[in-house]
């Protein structure tokens, strides 16, 4: 077990998180952790990325698209912006991503879909992405 001065070995969860979200994103999340928030980062790595994202049954593209749909449906716009890169990393197109966000409307509410599209548009602009590509 590591102490406060010894960094823990990279877990399978952190490795999958880096695979899907990219090193820069994960580095920012981990660098921003404080002694107070570090347990949350560990929980995210171990349980979300280490347990759920390691399972079979659906591929990473499907998992990423499901994650985007759930975050949009729940109105978690900040988390959604972080996870929008996942589907593209895992082989989805911007058109597929748009269809998932559109699908949120009738099942979780049009205001949620509007907020998700707004967040996706901001993220796309920041990343220099366009549906025309």
- Buried b / exposed e over 58-82, threshold 16 CB at 10 Å, is eebbebbbebbbebbbebbbebbbb
Note the pLDDT of residue 3: 47
pLDDT in the model for residue 18: 96
Q: Give this prediction's pTM.
A: 0.88
Sequence-separated contacts (24+) of 34-43 with Cβ below 8 Å: 35/4
Q: What is the mean pLDDT of residues 108-116?
A: 97
Quote the Cα angle for 83-121-70, to 5°.
35
Question: pLDDT-based confidence at 8, cuts 50/70/90?
Answer: low
Average pLDDT of 98-122? 97
Beta-carbon-side half-sphere exposure of residue 61 (alpha carbons within 13 Å): 8
Q: Would you state the pLDDT for residue 42?
A: 94
Q: How far is CA 57 from CA 28, 53, 78, 106, 130, in A?
A: 30, 10, 28, 26, 31
Q: Tell me what the mean pLDDT of segment 102-130 comes to.
A: 97
Structure confidence at residue 59 (pLDDT): 98
Cβ pair 100, 65 in contact under 8 A: yes
Find out whether 49 and 77 touch, Cβ atoms under 8 Å: no
Task: Tell me the two tokens of residue 3.
Answer: 């102490």
- Higher-pLDDT residue of 7 and 30 is 30
Using an 8 Å Cβ cutoff, are 87 and 68 in contact? Answer: yes
Query: Given this model, what pLDDT does residue 9 score?
Result: 59
pLDDT of 71 above 60: yes
What is the per-residue pLDDT across 12-68, written as a single tens digit (0 to 9) for each? 999 999 999 999 999 999 999 999 999 999 999 999 999 999 999 999 999 999 999
């Amino acid at each position: 077990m590591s102490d406060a001065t010894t960094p823990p070995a990279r877990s399978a969860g952190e490795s999958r998180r880096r695979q899907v979200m990219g090193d820069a994103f994960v580095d920012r999340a981990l660098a921003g952790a404080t002694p107070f928030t570090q347990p949350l980062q560990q929980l995210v790595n171990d349980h979300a990325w280490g347990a759920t994202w390691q399972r079979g049954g659906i591929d990473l593209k499907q998992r990423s698209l499901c994650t985007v749909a759930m975050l949009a449906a729940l109105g978690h716009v900040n988390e959604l912006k972080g996870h929008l890169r996942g589907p593209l990393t895992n082989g989805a197109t911007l058109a597929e991503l748009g269809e998932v966000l559109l699908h949120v409307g009738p099942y979780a509410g049009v205001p949620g879909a509007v907020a998700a599209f707004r967040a996706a548009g901001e993220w796309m602009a920041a990343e220099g992405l366009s549906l025309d590509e």
